[in-house]
Structure 1
């Protein structure tokens, strides 16, 4: 799955994570759900006061296995809330892109849409700005809830909230623990920098030719073109004032770091080879072609998946490195990380909005043994999810490093960006083209960065507003 899509739009948030949909929350779901039920009125329900249960629909893109878990949660919800009947509608199994197309057709046809799972923030903002979604503020107020106290990421337009965070995903670095031990390096902890990462990569590189193990592998996504922009900045394209970030010091720093690691240190597989061979970052790591790779929490099950990724080393984990002194972003907030996740939203055409809100709260906060992704609810017991993901395979993990990377006291998350970026595909292409210009030719970083800034500014002036 892609993880660079995770933040193409503004968010009101203090954390974040991503992945395919897994429904429900963890921890103190029972009391939270009871509070919400007690404080949420019935006004506006089509059948309010009639004694008959109202029927609402829950739309998503579950595959077969996920659908079983969803059905179990919906059945539990209906047992707790006999006044509400929920129909589970899988629009396109296992395909969120096609699901969104079908959803938009339903909305445009005038169908009453109740609760929808959406795969990312961009999909929330796109539909909210078209008037397809209902703001949630009045329902939060009725329930006596402050959304910023409840969820890490709260998509907001004109001070109104349009989504409720269902899942979270986190970036981190996977490391071959056996390779670290071999060269006497400790597992890095919060506060290490990309300069430190480069030094680790040098020491972890060994061998030649087909037997060479690179210290690091960088994949082709924009996450690997400017990791600081994707991990420690509020928006990967624009500052809070709406201007392009492509002039940011992190671009010059990280582009040069990538090139130096390939050409000077020879500790990272060349970008040209990665493009030509269409490599997979997971197999590069588990086949011991590379000792470190920047990735994220969607890969936690992978070390235990010996059938697909046969290996005999232990996997360690480290927080994403921070920019070193002198290369910090313009709007740097001292090493806080960006995070995101799937959202559930309410259709503007729903005739049963209070019932829909109650279902949304349940799906995001209920304790579920079926959950295999971290919750976006701040009060969830995400440690229980981690234990479930590791299962009986603790010997394949450096569990202590994984726990501190995910839940360490130093780990903090960014607040929201104040801009909504709608031309993300065009801006992403500029970043990719600029990176390729620098990595695959002799163009200077100054010339490449000026070209990127000029191109991005044209698009922002034409298509964006603060």
Structure 2
């Protein structure tokens, strides 16, 4: 009986060991060469090592400013059997990058890893079969996605990429302008108070004129400011995907914010933003606007760059609330690293995206990762210390924002979200540029988008 028990136990133990052996470390911190093709590691019969595999990583980032040379160096040091070739125009223009990626896919150009600035861009390309599901790779490495990452990339039950930097929306404010207006750093405020701050920091007399704030051209989140950080139904379509969400009180408030700022002349006029094709970076860093609602990807830049030195100190505040009694919330998103379905080196591509979204972002030291196991204060210290002028970044207000804000992720947008946002933007432009009243703007957009939703059911 004992022998029989021992034999059974041995079988169970052996099976458990074999199961564990099938999983590599899921932390991304060990040199496991996870997902690497055995052929790239094995030596041939003659004893010589196989040639390294080169994978192409398509991105929009300025490679020099974002220290992708360090990323390449550190990854290749840890994975000598994989070489990285970054493909980028280097202009930080994610919109133009998407056009080039789509053209490359249509023409059959070789791509391995594609970086997208949002999950919206990912889901728009899944139906076309452009991207490879990575569920099998996650399972092979025993990676439990929700235990590892703060932002989900799931679409229709499958994962089509890993989240890179975490983008939390907050407000960056010129400390000099704040002090000159006699205003404290906001830690808990509403959109009405935001507009009041903007009015008080606006200066239209003297040689150097400025507006209290600047709103950029993106539909999401700048047309839906007060909607984007709601706990539920925080997009132009409801969470269940069955209804347009334009009649939401939070969307109405978002439009009222934009109209009030125009009336107060406390925001850069929308006509100028459109006609002059203004960009938020120069508006803030040239001190043409005192504060901007933006993403945490801007943190490093507030400490200056080699080309744009920091000339003032930035402090940071949470995105304002819709109502005073609401908790302080911020919408959270990320860029996404996906694998091309046509890649000839999918396993090596997965090795790279897993490493980059964990260790790589820490090495890069430019952004806050979506990786839950990252030490947030350590990340901030590294980001700040790596800038030319670390003293220009107020760490205390940054930490206050990160520690005291409930991060809310929007539900994965529908595959037709680009059409939804185009329809909303058209009605918004009529309101801002042609004087269309707010009720007609809301009702027309609701009707148009509902028809689109119904057609896609």
Aligned partners of 2:71, 2:127: CA distance in 1, in Å? Answer: 30
**Other-structure match for 1:237:** 236
- Deviation sequence 1:261-318 (CA, Å, 0-9, x none): 332x443344334444544444444454433222223333444439866785432111
370 and 228 in structure 1: CA distance in 2 versus 1, 3 angstrom threshold: same
Aligned partners of 1:227, 1:87: CA distance in 2, in Å? Answer: 38
117 and 314 in structure 1: CA distance in 2 versus 1, 3 angstrom threshold: closer
Which of 141, 150, 159 is 1:152 aligned to? 150
* 2:367 aligned with 1:373: yes
Which of 155, 163, 170 is 1:172 aligned to? 170
Report if aligned partners of 2:202, 2:210 keep a CA contact under 8 Å in 1. Answer: yes
Aligned partners of 2:66, 2:273: CA distance in 1, in Å? Answer: 38
Report if aligned partners of 1:154, 1:162 keep a CA contact under 8 Å in 2. Answer: no
**Other-structure match for 1:127:** 125
Report if aligned partners of 1:272, 1:440 keep a CA contact under 8 Å in 2. Answer: yes
Aligned length: 421
Which of 432, 437, 445 is 1:444 aligned to? 437
Which of 403, 423, 428 is 2:421 aligned to? 428
| Structure possessing the higher relative contact order (Cα contacts under 8 Å, 6 or more residues apart) | 1
**Other-structure match for 1:181:** 179
Structure 2: runs of 5+ lacking an equivalent: 1-24
> How does 1:379-458 map onto structure 2 within 5 Å?
379-391=373-385, 393-405=389-401, 407-408=402-403, 410-417=404-411, 419-424=413-418, 426-458=419-451
Aligned partners of 2:349, 2:43: CA distance in 1, in Å? Answer: 18
Corresponding residue SS for 1:131: coil
Corresponding residue SS for 2:56: strand
Corresponding residue SS for 1:174: strand
* 2:336 aligned with 1:343: yes
For residue 454 of structure 1, report the CA deviation from its aligned partner. 1.2
RMSD: 3.7
Which of 186, 196, 201 is 1:199 aligned to? 196
**Other-structure match for 2:215:** 218
Report if aligned partners of 1:91, 1:103 keep a CA contact under 8 Å in 2. Answer: no
Aligned partners of 1:67, 1:180: CA distance in 2, in Å? Answer: 29
Which of 79, 83, 105 is 1:86 aligned to? 83
47 and 314 in structure 1: CA distance in 2 versus 1, 3 angstrom threshold: closer
TM-score by length of 1: 0.76
- Deviation sequence 1:190-249 (CA, Å, 0-9, x none): x31102212323333455486654433334433333212344466532111211121111
For residue 320 of structure 1, report the CA deviation from its aligned partner. 0.8
Aligned partners of 2:183, 2:124: CA distance in 1, in Å? Answer: 46
388 and 429 in structure 1: CA distance in 2 versus 1, 3 angstrom threshold: same
* 2:270 aligned with 1:271: yes
Structure 1: runs of 5+ lacking an equivalent: 1-29, 329-333
Corresponding residue SS for 2:406: coil
Corresponding residue SS for 1:126: helix
Corresponding residue SS for 2:130: coil
306 and 369 in structure 1: CA distance in 2 versus 1, 3 angstrom threshold: closer
